[in-house]
Amino acid sequence: MKIGILTGGGDCPGLNAVIRGVLRCAVGKYRWELTGFLHGYKGLIENETVPLNLKMDAGLLQRGGTIIGTSNRDNPYAYSETIGGKKVVHDVSDRVVDTYNKNGLDALIVVGGDGTLSTALKLSQKGLNIVGVPKTIDNDLSATDYTFGFDTAVNIVTEAIDRLKTTAESHDRVMVVEVMGRDTGWIALYSGLAGGAHIVLIPEIPYDMDCVCRKIYERKGRGKNFSIVLVAEGAKSVKGEVTIKRTVDDPTTGVRYGGIGNILGDEIEEITKIETRVTALGHIQRGGTPSAFDRILCTRLGVEAVNMIAEGNFGKMACLDTPDITTVPLEEAARNRKVDPQDSVIKAAKDIGISFGD
Ligand code: F6P
């Protein structure tokens, strides 16, 4: 057997741990050949490959990023290239099928988030033997309890809150911390709870500035002269819109969020007259070593993907259905999941006094 693997979308801690799990099971156990396609779907479109062998697995478990590269723009159904000096965006999915056949693949493992997995579904409907593995720090896929990378991101943000709290307390300041998550507030919610933020603002609950400031005043009234305001990049006020930082050549969303932290920080300082500082954690949340939880999840998902191929269980994604690893059809894999404002985690957070600005 000969199989391929690609990692698509934004990178995320644990991608290499998945590659290691696949490598050890596919090459070590089954003695198959494994080919890595470089930079996500681009490698599959342009036939850019690297053979993956067991000598390469040293240090992969803990290594951040992805050794085969990734891309969040190269979609085979809307591929951008320059032909005869003119930029065109067109469907090159037949080239993907050619590359798959040229490489003599029996199956392909696609590791990615909603955009990458939606494309995987279309390619599987085109006849390729595909299995998916759910990745994203945003945790916004409904078919799995958790996506890998999320736990690591939550740990990174939690540590940042711990550190910002000591400086906020020393200076009697408000610290605004902006975190990633696109249209969902999973990272903000979980790290807000873990780090003990006082105000958590998420896209699913539009916030009211009066409520935000009331919470800061209420804390001040109790002698707590500092506050931590954790804001998800996709959060918006009841009166406002989401804050777009830039438009990008990415056919899935076309935009990147960012900047709400600064807007919010300025407003809080102006209204409360309390000195306010803003920290946008940005790509720090996606870099470096995966947590122990993510290493275990990645290893299990990688092994499951290989076993799915061994069983001919194609057109599906491996997922976590705690405590088991199971499979779901790719049709269900790319469905987006938002935080439910009635979620028990939100309720617990409210019960200990965390404000969501509502
Ligand atoms: O989907 C992962 C993610 O990190 C989002 O949380 C964020 O909005 C986006 O990717 C950032 O993308 P880029 O790396 O292109 O700036």
Q: Does residue 84 belong to any structural domain of this protein?
A: yes
Confidence grade of residue 223 (pLDDT, cut at 50, 70, 90): very high
The verdict on 179 and 299 lying in the same domain is no
Residue 132 pairs with which residues in a beta bridge? 110, 317
Average pLDDT over residues 75-92: 94
CA 256–ligand 1 middle distance (angstroms)? 7
Could you tell me if the CB of 226 is within 6 A of ligand 1? no
Q: Does residue 39 belong to any structural domain of this protein?
A: yes
The verdict on 209 and 140 lying in the same domain is no
The verdict on 198 and 256 lying in the same domain is yes
Could you tell me if the CB of 136 is within 6 A of ligand 1? yes
Whether 138 is catalytic is yes
Could you tell me if the CB of 150 is within 6 A of ligand 1? no
Q: Does residue 299 belong to any structural domain of this protein?
A: yes
Tally of domains within the chain: 2
Q: Does residue 34 belong to any structural domain of this protein?
A: yes
Residue 279 has pLDDT above 80, yes or no: yes
Residue 251 has pLDDT above 70, yes or no: no
Q: Which pLDDT score is estimated for 298?
A: 98
CA 259–ligand 1 middle distance (angstroms)? 13
We report the CATH number of the domain holding residue 93 as 3.40.50.450
Atom of ligand 1 nearest to the CA of 256: 8
The verdict on 100 and 80 lying in the same domain is yes
The verdict on 31 and 84 lying in the same domain is yes
- Classify strands 276-280 and 174-179 as parallel, antiparallel or unpaired: parallel
CA 137–ligand 1 middle distance (angstroms)? 9
The verdict on 85 and 98 lying in the same domain is yes
CA 75–ligand 1 middle distance (angstroms)? 16
| Residue to probe by mutation, ligand 1, list 11, 15, 138, most atoms within 8 Å of CB | 138
Residue 44 has pLDDT above 90, yes or no: yes
HSE-CB for 68 with a 13 A CA cutoff: 35
From 138, 140, 151, 294, active-site residue = 138
How large a percentage of the chain has pLDDT more than 90?
96
The verdict on 67 and 204 lying in the same domain is no
The verdict on 315 and 222 lying in the same domain is no
Query: Distance (Å, rounded) from C-alpha 177 to C-alpha 90?
Result: 40
Q: What is the 3-state secondary structure (H, E, C) of the chain?
A: CEEEEEECCCCCCCHHHHHHHHHHHHHHHCCCEEEEECCCHHHHHHCCEEEECHHHHCCCCCCCCCCCCCCCCCCCCCEEEEECCEEEEECCHHHHHHHHHHCCCCEEEEEECHHHHHHHHHHHHCCCCEEEEEECCCCCECCCCCCECHHHHHHHHHHHHHHHHHHHHHHCCEEEEEECCCCCCHHHHHHHHHHCCCEEECCCCCECHHHHHHHHHHHHHCCCCCEEEEEECCCCECCCCCCEEEECCCCCCCEEECCHHHHHHHHHHHHHCCCEEEEECHHHHHCCCCCHHHHHHHHHHHHHHHHHHHCCCCCEEEEEECCEEEEEEHHHHCCECCCCCCCHHHHHHHHCCCECCC
The verdict on 159 and 142 lying in the same domain is no
Q: Does residue 341 belong to any structural domain of this protein?
A: no
Atom of ligand 1 nearest to the CA of 285: 4
Residue 310 has pLDDT above 80, yes or no: yes
Q: Print the domain residue range for 267.
A: 154-286
Q: What pTM did the predictor assign? A: 0.96
Domain boundary at 251, 286, 321, which? 286
We report the CATH number of the domain holding residue 241 as 3.40.50.460
Could you tell me if the CB of 137 is within 6 A of ligand 1? yes
- Name the token pair of 43: 């490698």
The verdict on 222 and 303 lying in the same domain is no
The verdict on 142 and 266 lying in the same domain is no
Q: Does residue 343 belong to any structural domain of this protein?
A: no
Q: Does residue 297 belong to any structural domain of this protein?
A: yes
Average pLDDT over residues 229-255: 90
The verdict on 210 and 300 lying in the same domain is no
